[in-house]
Structure formats: structure tokens, C-alpha cells
Structure 1
Amino acid sequence: MPDWSYRTLFRPLLFAMPSRTARAVTLGAMGALSRLPGGTLLIKTLGHMDRYRDLESDRLGGLRTGYPVGLGGPVDAHGQAPAALAQFGFGYVEVGPVTPEPIAGGGPIVLDAEREELHYPVRHESDGIEAVLARERANAGKRRQPLLFRLRHMPQSDSRRAAAEVSGMVERTKELADGVILDTFDERWTEEEWFAAAEETIGAARRMLGEGAPVFVYVPLDMPDDRLESLLARRRERGRLDDGLVIGDTIRAGDLYAVGRSGLAPTRRKLRLIREYDAACPVIATGGVHEPAEAVTLVREGADYVQLHSGLVFAGPGLPKRINEAILHDAMRGKKPPEPETFWQGWGWMFLLGIGMIVGGVIAFLIAATTVVLPYDEAYLGAHRHELHEGNGNVLPFMSHDRITLAGTMVSIGILYAQFARHGLRRRLHWTKTALLVSGIVGFSSFFLYLGYGYFDPLHALAAAVLLPMFMLAMRREADDPPRTPANLRSDRLWRRAQWGQLMLVSLGFALALGGGVISIVGITHVFVPQDIDYIGATAEELSRINPRLVPLIAHDRAGFGGALLSDALALLAAALWGVRQGERWLWWTLLVGGLPGFAAGFGVHAAIGYGDFVHLLPAYFAFALFVAGLVLLYPYMTKPVPASEE
């Protein structure tokens, strides 16, 4: 459920449901998808969160993490979708709060969309240690991120009993936990009682977990500042016993407990206070992060990690990826960018391949618009094109229709490939290499579809023989550098509008891929659809009586066009899924210029030959509407750079 589907389609529906129902439906669907064959790969593909060395860190008490964003335990409180959430770009996962016995929610979770807050009836809702351990054993291996168990005593326990409860849970979780977060502060206790409980549980965790398993102390967001100062002063006096602090995200709001955007200000205040006492202490900040800008602010002010909870509900599941990109860009500011690839190192070969596709498409168009068939086509048929025309006056126009649409698609592919090479491979952008690799493999493989009816096309074979080495030379280089354009920081109106535009283009990519696959299958099986037969005025059997090799020749054209359309669609789909980024002006113009030849060829040839069947053209009308709507909605987002004030 990427942002382009969550913000546009699903969020309005989910926000109309009771919050617990919406959470269960969302996580249940994601969990079910992740358990299907290829489901986890699909989730990862839709999000495509790259790993970059500059985002890796060992500040999580020595644990190595790939991203500076953590997943808050209450998001998937019942462990419904661990494998799915693991693909979103999280560096670690919090499990909890975990209590010795279950603590029921006791009422609905109230969602305040205007203030972007969730209101819980109890602060520490938990399934209890038994259920959590059983669940995590079942989920073992479904995610690679470190697991931090947040352990909390029962609500009515005194300080001594609380210390015993938390210490007992440390013992029970050590087989699964990579580290623990000790949530032992209780406003009912005196300062000395709390310190005693905290030190006892830290000591127990050290003994039970051993080296390499970090022990963090949880600082509630509404902990009085004087209590926090006392904690920090004692840590400085006695030496730090823990491996870091976690600033919570929950504030008492009357009879409820609020988690939301309002938590950012107190989080920043507590973070500054911690840094006054300990500049080197690892800190996880969890409150009020609903936009990348807020995460960047916390990192600039000293947070080592940010942890998400309510932000995922209000901003969408793409928030961790957006935060990772924003933090990465912020970290790279001022650093000299690497030198772009030289032309012959790799990207130039793909650029030449694209130019070759454009030239080939133009030549194919000129032939299809004039003679339609080539001499080797006539040699294969054993007949001159005039004989075909005499046998059925609509055969040559129909073949022209197939070949001109193929020519337009070839030009579109060439434009996409050349631009992806010049602006993507040259800068070693990972998504462009992946897009070109997938699209190219499909495109070159579709050559074998030409053989479906036993027709070997020497011109296509020659083109494939020339272009395939270029493709292989271009793909031999690594491409894993991060984008250098500023990352989007705000979930503002411009960004929300862009989600609709991205939805349109992703839908177009899927639709064209489906269409290309169907056309290829039809081309090598039935060859014609009913509308084709109505236009030609003859069935396949009747055409075979004109010339027994005519249907195989037409099938070759149809299968070739279907394969090319599928290849083109995959390149477009990859760009729509992974390349849409604020200020990527080149990609917007690439999609516009790359899409026009295909649509112009398709609509133009149908008008020219009088093949105007509405049902036949309806998919093309629908695709063009998605194309126009997507580009219009994305125009201000992709063509205007991120404001300098937000960088």
C-alpha cells in the first residue's frame, strides 16, 4: 500500500472505519499478501527502498542498522504483518510494550484527523508476555532488522515488584531480543524508588543478555523535566549504565493518551535537555514525526534514530522511505558528488541503444506508411503486395496498423532508454538500472515471439544482434549512488496532488503491461480479436485461403507489437513507481515526450485506415486519459525544485 494508493484511495476508506477495525484490516491484508508466493517481493518492489552506506549506523548500542528509522511497537501491536512492514525501510523494530500479563485496550482508539492524533484508552495496551513470545517465535526469520523489546511492569506494581517483573521478562525474551528498552518510570513512585528500580533492571539485563545486546532506558514524553534532569545528572555522576535513551511519544490527554503531531515540541525539548548533559548518548526520538522535515529536524538536533507510530497512519506507509531519503540528502549536503560515469563506461551504450530504437522506429514507420511489407516479407509469402490487396483490400491497411503502432512504441522505448541512460545511469541511480534491466530482458526475449508461427524476421534478428551487445555493456556497471536532488520534506498540498498523479501513471504502467501481455498472447494464439475480423471482413481461415502464410506474417507483427508494448510499459511503470521525486524535471519531460509517439501512432493510424471501432479503441482512450491526468497532476511537483528554505 504505497502512498500513491494509501493517500488517494485507502486512507479515506480506512478513516471512515473504527480505528481498531481499520488497523486490523490494513495489517491483515498486508500480512496475507506477504504470505503469498512472491508477496513480499511485490511489497518490496512497489516501495523499492534502496540501501545506502551513508545511512548505515551502529549507534543502536552497537547493533548494525541499515536505516535511521525504527518501527514503533503499537503500529503492529498483534504481529499481523511483520514480513510486509520489514520492506518499508525500517532499520529496527520495537516489540511492545510487553507486560507480564495482558492489558486490554478497554475502548476504541479515537482518531483526530484534523490535529493528526490518536487517542488510546490506556497507555500500555499489551497482549502479555506469553502471547508476544509465541508470536515472535512464529515470526522469526520474517524480518532481518534488529528487535528491541520494550518491557513494562503491570500498572499497580510497586517499584520492587516492578523491577522483578521487568527483570523476569528480560530473562524470557533474551532468546529473541537483540536488545531491550526498559520502560520502568512510574509517576506514582518517588524519585529514589524509580532510580532503584531502573538500576536493578539495567543490572539484570546486563547479566542476562551479555555483551552485544544493548539496554536502553525509556523516557516517557510527559515525564517532568525535573525528573529527567535528575536522571541525566545521576547518569553523569555514576557513569552511564545504559546504552542510550528512548524518548517516548505518549502524552496524557484527560482520560485518554494522545500520540501524534503535538508530540514533536516536547520531544525536541527533551532531546535538547539530554544533549546538554550527554552529547554522545545514543538517543531514539519517537514523538510527532509525521513528515520528513520533522525527522530531519530531530536528527539535526541530536537524535540518532527516529521511530514512527502515528506518522504512518496520517502520512502513509511511504514515510520511512521519504525520511531515509531526506536524512540521506541532509547528510550529503556539502559533500562533493562523485564524478558522473563517462560515456563509454556504461551509460553511453544504453544511450546509443535508445537512439538506435528511435532510428529503427522511424524507419519502421516510413515503411509501414508506404509499402507496408518488405521484400523478404513478399519472399516469405511468395506473393507481391498487390496480390494481397486484390485478395482482400483491408489486409495491407490492417498490417500497416500493426506496424505503425509498433514503430511508435519503438520510438517511445528509445526515448525512455536514452533519457534513463543520460540522467540515470550516468549518475548511477539504482532505479534506472533496474528499470532498464527488466524492460530490456523482456524486450529482447520478445524476439522469440516472432517465431510463434514459424516466421523468422531477418531485420528484427539483425537489430537484436546489434543492440543486444550494447545492452549487455550498459548493464555491466554498478548503479547504487543516491539521488542528488533535494528530497521532499512536506506532506503538503503539492505532494498530496502528486500522489494522485503518481497513481494515474502507475495505473497506466500496469494497464499497458497487461495490454502488451494480452496482445502477445493473442498474437501467438488466436491472432485476431472480433473487432479485427469485422474490420478486415474475413476470418483467419479465409485469409489463409488467400495465402497460407499470411496469418503467420500477421501473427508475427501482433506478437512483436505486444512484446514491445510490454517492454515499454515496464520502463514506464518503473519510472512511475520509483522515479517520481520532487524537482526531477527531466523525468517529467521524458515521460511526456516518450509517451506521445506511441499514442500519436496508435490514434493516427486508426484514423488513417478507418478502423475506428469504439470498443477496440476504448483501452487506448482510457490509457491516454491516465497519461494526461498523471502528467498534469505531477507537473508542479516534478518541475519545480524543492524551495531553498526547506533544503
Structure 2
Amino acid sequence: MSVLDRIGQKLLFTFDPETAHGLSIAALRCGLPVGSRTARDARLKVSLCGLDFPNPLGMAAGYDKNAEVPDALLGLGFGFAEVGTVTPSAQPGNPKPRIFRLPADEAVINRLGFNNEGHAAAEKRLVGRKGRSGIVGVNIGANKDSADRVNDYERGVIRFAPYASYLTVNISSPNTPGLRTMQAREQLGELLSRVMAARAAAARQPPVFLKIAPDLVEAELEDIAAEVTHKAIDGIIVSNTTISRPALRSSGAASETGGLSGRPLFERSTIVLARMRRLLGPDMAIIGVGGVNSAETALEKIRAGADLVQLYTGMIYAGPALPGRIVAGMAHFAETERLKSISDLRDRHLDQWVSRPLN
């Protein structure tokens, strides 16, 4: 981390996490902070689902919930940015405080509950960037009080298909009661059928990804793989935050309820990633998320079966220059190992990660 990043982090950490998040969004809107500019390297390009990603590193959903700064994020060095989660109606989310830093673990616990300004606000901003280059995905969710949550996802597909590079169906947040039950096979089958029908009816048909939780057992992963394959979903994002609590060094906040993200999530999310790759085969698009905080952790996700990777919490602790450093590190690795493409690295450690137990 640079001296500037350390100063910025120290300043932001004087504020509560949610205030600090708002300040970081405001800074990006104003053109600050400036990340390290990394030259494009052809070896890092990934072509997936009809999209050409300049590099495999993306900003995960949850940071830019309201599609305020996707282009500023791309300017930090990310190959793509995912905005949201966006729900049809605006909602405040769960009571504050609802974000907790665990600095000793480079982790965060959140129980935000899909707080966002709703479809209309996000759509207005995305309309405003139409025609610009850069891959921007839209993560869609359901309102907490919705009488028909599947319909909320259909509405998200219809609303954002004209603007999204891809759509992500998020049914894996632990902070909306009952949402994760939609991962069960019968409910998932209905959801995916209706989502794909809504996409088929749209004038523009972006790829659709499904974002799953890391807190799944083998039988549940098998059911998800079967439904994703049967319904011809374009890809899987593995994974959301975890409700499990691996050994943590931080005290106090570690006992808070909510989803845990950051470095402690790396192992479990990568095991689930590898198992999904084994279940889905070599052709399904998979994005690996969870604990990415360096070039090496990003590369290891690819070795475990990911085509692309995303981060969020890692930037809280390493600063806005992190994506540029990771992309530069990946390019250096490709040069050192004489790779023609970073995708040549995929699956090299698949067996190793599949063999690890899901504790």
C-alpha cells in the first residue's frame, strides 16, 4: 500500500464504515482518488459470453449500489464493474449500525439488506452512460416486503436489459429474510424459468449470471448446477458473503450477525467455486469472488476454475490503487510464465481445491 493509500485509509477509518463508504463514492464522483494507470495487456483479455473483458478483475456488487460511479471504477483499473443490488422499489435496508470492520482479519460483516434507491434511479444513471465503452453489469434483487419476489427479478431483467452488459440474479444475500431459500431446487427452477423468459422477451438480451452463497452443501450445489444447466443460464458467480464464522482474530464485531466478507472468505468460496466448475464442466462462465486482495489470490481463483474474479472488501483495506496493482501483477505473472493468455491458467489447481472439505 502506498503512503497516499495509507493516509486515505486512516482518514476514512476515523468515520463509521457506512459514512466512509459514502465519502468514497463522493470522491469517485469528483474524480478522486486516482488509481494507478495500468496499460492494457492483450494476455489479460478474456472473451466470455460474447463480451470482451480487457482484464479479468471486476468490482463486485455491493459497492456501487445505485450505479453512481461505474465509469470511475473502470478508471481505477477494473476490467468490469457490477452495480447494485437494485430492487424495484427504493428501500432503506436494515437498521443501523449494519457494517462492521474486522481490521485484524481484513474482513467486514454487513447486514445492509439491499438498501438502494430503486430501479428508476439506477436506470436514469445507466441511460446517462449509454454509448460509453466499458463492461458494466447490473445486479438485481427483490424487495424485502415483495408479495412476489420472482416477479421482482423479472422486472429487473425487463428494466435493465437495454443497458446492462450482463445481469446478475442475486438470491444469495443473507440479509433479506427468506431470500436464500430461493436457491432450493424447486424455487430456483421457477425463478430461472421466469427470468430467462423475461430476457427472451426483451429487445436486447444480455448474459444472465446467478450469484450463489458459499454456505451450501454438496447436494445443494448439485441441484443448482442441474437447474443452471437445464435453464441455460450463462454463468455463475461464486460467491456472496458467508454466515459462517471461521476462526477470527478480531473481537467484538466478530459476533455481529450478517454476511462476512474479506480475507477469511477466500478458502471456502474458492472450494465452492472449484466444486461448481467440476459440476458444470469447462464451458460454463464462472466468476470467483471472496477474499481477493492481491494478484496471487486473484490468480488462484483462476487456477481453481474462475474465468473472471471480483473484489470489494479487499479495496477497503488496501485502497483504490489495489485494482491497478493486481492487474499489473497479473500482467507480470503472464510475462514471467510466458503465458499467451491468462485463461491458460484456469483449472490448474482444480483438483486440489475440489479435494478440500466443505467445513
What is the TM-score normalised by the length of structure 2? 0.81
Q: Aligned partners of 2:337 and 2:128: how far apart in 1?
A: 46
Bigger RCO (CA 8 Å, 6+ sep): 2
What is the deviation of 1:156? Answer: 4.6
Q: What letter is aligned with 1:251?
A: T
Is 2:295 the counterpart of 1:301?
A: no
Contact 1:229/1:273 (<8 A) preserved: no
The verdict on how the C-alpha distance between 1:122 and 1:224 changes in structure 2, with shifts beyond 3 A counting, is: farther
The verdict on how the C-alpha distance between 1:233 and 1:26 changes in structure 2, with shifts beyond 3 A counting, is: closer
Q: Write 1 or 2 for the structure with the bigger share of strand.
A: 2
1:404-443 map, 5 Å: none
What is the deviation of 1:62? Answer: 1.2
Give deviations 1:72-110, integer Å, cap 9, x for gaps: 232233444444322111111111111112232421321
Larger deviation: 321-330 or 300-309?
321-330
Is 2:193 the counterpart of 1:199?
A: yes
Give deviations 1:257-293, integer Å, cap 9, x for gaps: 2221111112111111112121221111111111221
Give the aligned partner of residue 287 of structure 2. Answer: 284
Contact 2:161/2:204 (<8 A) preserved: no
Contact 1:90/1:145 (<8 A) preserved: no
Give the aligned partner of residue 72 of structure 1. Answer: 60
Give the aligned partner of residue 176 of structure 1. Answer: 163
Q: Aligned partners of 2:216 and 2:88: how far apart in 1?
A: 23
Q: Aligned partners of 1:103 and 1:134: how far apart in 2?
A: 17
Give the aligned partner of residue 344 of structure 2. Answer: none
Contact 2:277/2:286 (<8 A) preserved: no
Q: What letter is aligned with 1:171?
A: I
Give deviations 1:482-539, integer Å, cap 9, x for gaps: xxxxxxxxxxxxxxxxxxxxxxxxxxxxxxxxxxxxxxxxxxxxxxxxxxxxxxxxxx
Give deviations 1:154-199, integer Å, cap 9, x for gaps: 23546xx222221122111122112211224633355312221122
Q: Aligned partners of 2:307 and 2:332: how far apart in 1?
A: 16
Give the aligned partner of residue 148 of structure 1. Answer: 137
Among residues 82, 85, 88, which one is paired with 1:94 in the alignment? Answer: 82
Is 2:51 the counterpart of 1:63?
A: yes
Give the aligned partner of residue 222 of structure 2. Answer: 229
What is the number of residues matched between the two proteins?
Answer: 319
1:12-27 map, 5 Å: 12-27=10-25
> What is the root-mean-square deviation in Å for CA atoms of aligned residues?
2.5
Give the aligned partner of residue 91 of structure 2. Answer: 103
What is the deviation of 1:123? Answer: 4.0
Give the aligned partner of residue 274 of structure 1. Answer: 276
Q: Aligned partners of 2:127 and 2:270: how far apart in 1?
A: 36
Higher-Rg structure is 1
Contact 2:86/2:141 (<8 A) preserved: yes
Q: What letter is aligned with 1:112?
A: L
Paired-residue identity, %:
24
What is the deviation of 1:135? Answer: 2.7
Q: Secondary structure at the match of 1:193?
A: helix
Q: Secondary structure at the match of 2:63?
A: helix
Q: Aligned partners of 1:205 and 1:224: how far apart in 2?
A: 30
Q: Secondary structure at the match of 2:290?
A: coil
Q: Aligned partners of 2:227 and 2:13: how far apart in 1?
A: 45
Q: Aligned partners of 2:339 and 2:57: how far apart in 1?
A: 25
Q: What letter is aligned with 1:319?
A: L
Is 2:334 the counterpart of 1:331?
A: yes
Among residues 5, 8, 22, which one is paired with 1:7 in the alignment? Answer: 5
Give the aligned partner of residue 356 of structure 2. Answer: none
Q: Aligned partners of 2:234 and 2:203: how far apart in 1?
A: 13
What is the TM-score normalised by the length of structure 1? 0.46
Q: Secondary structure at the match of 2:201?
A: helix
Structure 1 gaps, min length 5: 35-41, 338-647
Q: Aligned partners of 1:122 and 1:22: how far apart in 2?
A: 15
Among residues 150, 156, 159, which one is paired with 1:163 in the alignment? Answer: 150
Structure 2 gaps, min length 5: 173-178, 245-255, 341-359
Q: Secondary structure at the match of 1:51?
A: coil
Is 2:323 the counterpart of 1:320?
A: yes
Is 2:115 the counterpart of 1:125?
A: yes
Contact 2:237/2:287 (<8 A) preserved: yes
Q: Aligned partners of 1:179 and 1:263: how far apart in 2?
A: 25
What is the deviation of 1:330? Answer: 3.2
Q: Secondary structure at the match of 1:86?
A: helix
Q: Secondary structure at the match of 2:260?
A: strand
1:464-613 map, 5 Å: none
Among residues 232, 243, 246, which one is paired with 1:241 in the alignment? Answer: 232
Contact 2:56/2:309 (<8 A) preserved: yes
Q: What letter is aligned with 1:175?
A: P
Q: Aligned partners of 1:145 and 1:31: how far apart in 2?
A: 17
Q: What letter is aligned with 2:276?
A: I
Give deviations 1:17-50, integer Å, cap 9, x for gaps: 111221222221232236xxxxxxx93xx62210
The verdict on how the C-alpha distance between 1:83 and 1:168 changes in structure 2, with shifts beyond 3 A counting, is: closer
